Amino acid sequence: MDLDLSGAFDLIFSNQILEHLVYPVDMLRGLAKRLVPGGRLVATTPNGRYFKSRLPSYTELGDVSQYEDRQFFPDGDQHFFAYTAEELQTIFSCAGFRSIDVIPYASPWITGHVKFRYLHGRVPPGGLRLMDRMLLGIPCLRSRLAYQLMVIGKAEE
């Protein structure tokens, strides 16, 4: 959490980190300070609404201080919650970001979940990507069938 970098960046990418933090707004504020005015932060995290997720969402945790000892573990076994798109909008907004977009991605066509992995050797990658885009293009299914969420926030100008 103590990042000592000089200079400012147009873009910062945070890959699969937020779900390990009980105080994500603190980290997001720190990263926002490292962006040039109008710079963007892109973060990815598991989707709390994914139909196979058995994890509580961030807001379902209640008092997060009781989980402080469980954060900062790099392995997947330490995921003790996942975010919803609405929660990501809220924490990015609290950290001072504007123009926040949350994009669901990676359906079972891509992840191989629910035995779709057996299609990976039979269907060309382009076909898998096409089916993924088609499935996630259906608004009523998108939030439940996307395994991951990508959030893009723009720093104050």
The pTM of this model reads 0.89
pLDDT in tens, 8-30: 999 999 999 898 888 999 999 99
pLDDT of residue 69: 79
pLDDT of residue 151: 98
Distance CA 114, CA 132 (A): 14
Q: Is the dihedral of CA 79, 85, 87, 89 positive or negative?
A: positive
pLDDT of residue 80: 74
pLDDT of residue 2: 64
- Give the domain ranges of the chain: 9-107+142-154
pLDDT in tens, 32-87: 999 999 999 999 999 999 999 888 899 998 898 888 877 766 555 567 789 999 99
pLDDT in tens, 117-149: 999 999 999 999 999 999 999 999 999 999 999
End-to-end CA distance of the chain: 24
Which fold, 9-107+142-154? Answer: Rossmann fold (3.40.50)
